[in-house]
Amino acid sequence: MHEQVPVLTIDGPGGAGKGTISSLIAERQGWHLLDSGALYRLTAQAAIKHEVALDDEAALAELAASLDVEFPVSDGVPQVLLEGQDVTRAIRTEAAGERASQVAALPSVRTALLQRQQGFQQPPGLVADGRDMGTVVFPQAPLKIFLTASASERARRRHLQLQEAGVDASLSSLLKEIQARDARDMQRSVAPLKPADDAITLDTTRLSIPEVVDRLTELLAQRGMASGT
């Protein structure tokens, strides 16, 4: 059954707009959404809660395999619950992103989460957002997108988000963090960040969110995957 359920994978570095774009496309299509990055953030969050060191690969893999996670939606706003506790905001900080990147570099953790991620492939379809959705998790997906943007633009976007949230942050520090995370994600030995061989790369540096959504909707339609086609 899973092989017949269409999947759109959207991979790329942090700050390229994957989360926003994936959510909008999933809503437009009426499909399920997988925020794979949240699973790594949640594993890191669970590690802190249970006092597991971020370099204890065996213990982290055990946590990943048994995560008590829910993704309820209230008034159109998605939430993330870890062991019944709302951690939606807690897992979206820069520090949480750094911890998730460390955890994601561990082979045993990635293996533990692989089957869990593939289980999100349910009718009528799935938009899978991450860093290795098209290369590792859903290699047979009929449409794979690699969403990117310049590091400076991604830092600018993140800085704006934090300002809007009332959080003071240094733009130069954010740029350094993004560059360091990119390097770690691209150089890791397991599932490095890179486009799938058959992925379409889309640079969003100078594109608006509606423009990106429209472009992906066109690509879905070209493959007969858009709702109503």
pLDDT means per 10 residues, the chain with 229 residues, are 84 89 89 88 95 95 88 65 92 88 90 88 93 94 96 93 84 93 85 91 94 96 82
33 part of a folded domain: yes
Strands 69-70 and 81-82, bridge-based pairing: antiparallel
pLDDT, position 115? 82
CATH (domain of 148): 3.40.50.300
18 part of a folded domain: yes
224 part of a folded domain: no
52 part of a folded domain: yes
pLDDT, position 2? 63
pLDDT, position 184? 86
**Predicted structure pTM score:** 0.82
66 part of a folded domain: yes
The whole domain housing 16 covers 2-219
228 part of a folded domain: no
- Partnered with residue 202 across adjacent β-strands are 147
pLDDT, position 75? 52
Residue 102 is classified by DSSP as: H
> Do 125 and 131 touch, CB atoms closer than 8 A?
no
Residue 115 is classified by DSSP as: H
Question: What's the domain count of the chain?
Answer: 1
Structure tokens that stand for 49 in this block:
């809660």
Residue 55 backbone phi and psi in degrees, to 5: -115, 10
pLDDT, position 187? 87
225 part of a folded domain: no
> Do 91 and 80 touch, CB atoms closer than 8 A?
yes
pLDDT, position 203? 96
Residue 128 backbone phi and psi in degrees, to 5: -110, 115
Residues in the chain: 229
Residue 13 is classified by DSSP as: -
178 part of a folded domain: yes
pLDDT, position 78? 67
